[in-house]
Chain A
Amino acid sequence: MSELLRVRGLERHFGGIYATAGVDLDVGAGELHALIGPNGAGKTTLIHLISGALAPDAGAVAFDGKPVTDLAMHERAGLGLVRSYQITSVFPHLPALENVRLAVQSRARDWGSSFRFWRPAAADRAMTEEAASLLERVGLAGRGAAPAADLAHGEQRALELAMALATKPRLLLLDEPMAGMGHEESERMADLVASLKGDISMLLVEHDMDIVFRLADRISVLVAGRIVASDAPAAVRDNPEVRRAYLGDEVVPL
């Protein structure tokens, strides 16, 4: 499997605390790679660093063989390195359909830039149709006219994913797509993520271990800012270091 994402020696500290302390990570093309780790291990910081929302103190990120460490977030997104958000980040006052249509419109490589001042955006029917079919795919058909702020939490998570998909990512960084969802909603989201496998490479941050072990091709375990294991699910499950991190050898009886 050829590498799509290659992270080497990535470091980021906040004051004296190393949130990311020398991370090496590879995600192969077509792979669904899960990133797990205890709370505070630095998973979201790592997503920020890979997506370009934060600049690293040291280390390098390469995407599809090209260094992207110095590129801004929107430039990385333009290459197909796209993230979704753990805390739902949509356009609250715009209708759900327009949220996705904006995400479709962002693909300058397909439509040309957004520096178009005269022609109505609605005249580009293909954009609206694509947005509508994405809404349908994530189970929001019929909700297109509702402002994003009026959607239920689970629906907003689905909208968030539809927006990420609308950018036609090559590697999708999914930061806890099931966060705050009920069991049924989580299962639906898991099915959706499973249906994307093969088409889109994914780096999935998720707490639900059932889902992670069911879906992932490979799993990396982040503990205290370091990757302690990166392997197939079965091997990770049996890894003593991972067990120690999760069960905790530092738990001292009171």
Chain B
Amino acid sequence: MKKLVEPLLLAAAVALPFLLAATGNEFYTGMATRVMIFGLAATALNLIVGYGGMVAFGHAAFFGLGAYGVAILMQHGVTSAWIAWPAAVALAALAALGVGLVSLRTRGVYFIMITLAFAQMLYYLVLSLKNYGGDDGLPLANRSTLAPLDLGSDTGFYLVTLAVLAAALFAMKRLAASRFGSALAGIRQNETRMEALGYPVFGLKLACFVIGGAVAGLAGALMANQHGMASPNLLYWTQSGMLLVMVILGGVGHRYGGLIGAVVLLGLEEVLAGVTDHANLGVGLFLLAVVSFAPRGIAGLLPKGSRE
């Protein structure tokens, strides 16, 4: 029975855009795509925070860089996703490598502050790129092309996003059970002991940080396509805060934590925005309630067997 939950959820997710189209609610296809993209970015952050035990507060920088990677290449005529998306991932990974090399020498609050500082530096760097839109952001002429698939239709783009997200979640499962994942679990619980055992702790943490940054870059590449532009706001610190809130809401260290957090947070914002001008207040209260009554997040409330 438990084995059926994931395939059933996946099947429902595949069917969703067709149902929405049949009922004249195409508008929600775009919104669902946006939720999945944020879910992917939050999952990437959860790898760093929940699996690697590093509370990073600048993840939006890698997300935004992925978006800019796609937008800048498109301005120079590169429209193929087969080239632009890997390039966006590489750009984000490279930035994560640089940031990680410096900031992973610190711990705790210092690590939070230094990752925040780097992210803000990258934000202002992007703002200063006058040739690439400056503070207006950089629009995309079209969506990327992913021959032979069609990204032009909202349903096509939704399905590709879903496939990317599902692949990332599957990879996360493999990673958690791998030697690398075991080593991360050890580092999370007792870093000094791992060093005494002979593990290259710094390198392992750096690898985790870079993978998280790279996946955030992929989410950013999708975001640019969904949004039709790369905006500096994608790199802003409030965006990093939102990703962290998603992870905490959904469940730190739970494979589905990032996705659940994105669904709940964005869903809540959408619902509350319809009834009040003070949606953020409601979101804040909800976050307080989750942290107080379900410290392991919403995923922590799921039956035990569902945890990997």
Contact = CB atoms under 8 A, between A and B. Distances in A.
B186 A102 contact: yes
Contacts of A14: none
B44 to A, nearest CB: 14
Nearest to B192: A89
Nearest to B182: A121
Nearest to A91: B189
Contacts of A101: 182
Given A116-B180, A117-B180, A119-B179, A94 B198 contact: no
Interface residues of A, number: 38
A84 B158 CA distance: 53
- Where chain B touches its partner, the secondary structure class is helix
Contact of A90 (B177, B193, B204, B207): B193
Given A74-B201, A91-B190, A115-B207, A98 B195 contact: no
Contacts of A102: 182-183, 185-186, 194, 197
Given A90-B190, A91-B189, A167-B197, A105 B183 contact: yes
B185 A107 contact: no
B22 interface: no
Nearest to A77: B198
State the 10 A-B residue pairs at the shortest beta-carbon distance, nearest first. A77-B198, A106-B197, A114-B183, A91-B189, A116-B179, A120-B177, A78-B198, A74-B195, A121-B179, A114-B179
Contact of A108 (B181, B192, B198): B198
Interface in A84-117: 85, 89-94, 98, 101-103, 105-108, 113-117
8 contacts: A53-B196, A74-B196, A117-B211, A118-B175, A119-B179, A124-B179, A163-B197, A167-B198
Interface string B186-216: 1001101111111111011001000100000
A208 to B, nearest CB: 24
Contacts of B197: 74, 77, 82, 102-103, 106, 163, 167
A91 B247 CA distance: 24
A92 B204 CA distance: 20
A124 B177 CA distance: 12
B189 A121 contact: no
A226 interface: no
Interface in A49-101: 51, 53, 72-75, 77-78, 82-83, 85, 89-94, 98, 101
B148 to A, nearest CB: 27
Given A114-B179, A120-B178, A122-B177, A82 B198 contact: yes
Given A51-B196, A92-B190, 6 more contacts: A82-B198, A85-B196, A89-B196, A91-B186, A106-B194, A113-B200
Interface of B: 174-175, 177-183, 185-186, 189-190, 192-201, 203-204, 207, 211
A66 B96 CA distance: 36
Given A105-B183, A116-B178, A120-B178, A92 B195 contact: no
Contacts of A93: 189
Contact of A115 (B180, B182, B189, B193): B180
A106 B198 CA distance: 6
A117 B178 contact: yes
A119 B178 contact: yes
Contacts of A85: 193, 196
B179 A77 contact: no
Nearest to A93: B189
A85 B194 CA distance: 12
A130 to B, nearest CB: 14
Contacts of A78: 198
Given A94-B185, A105-B179, A120 B174 contact: yes
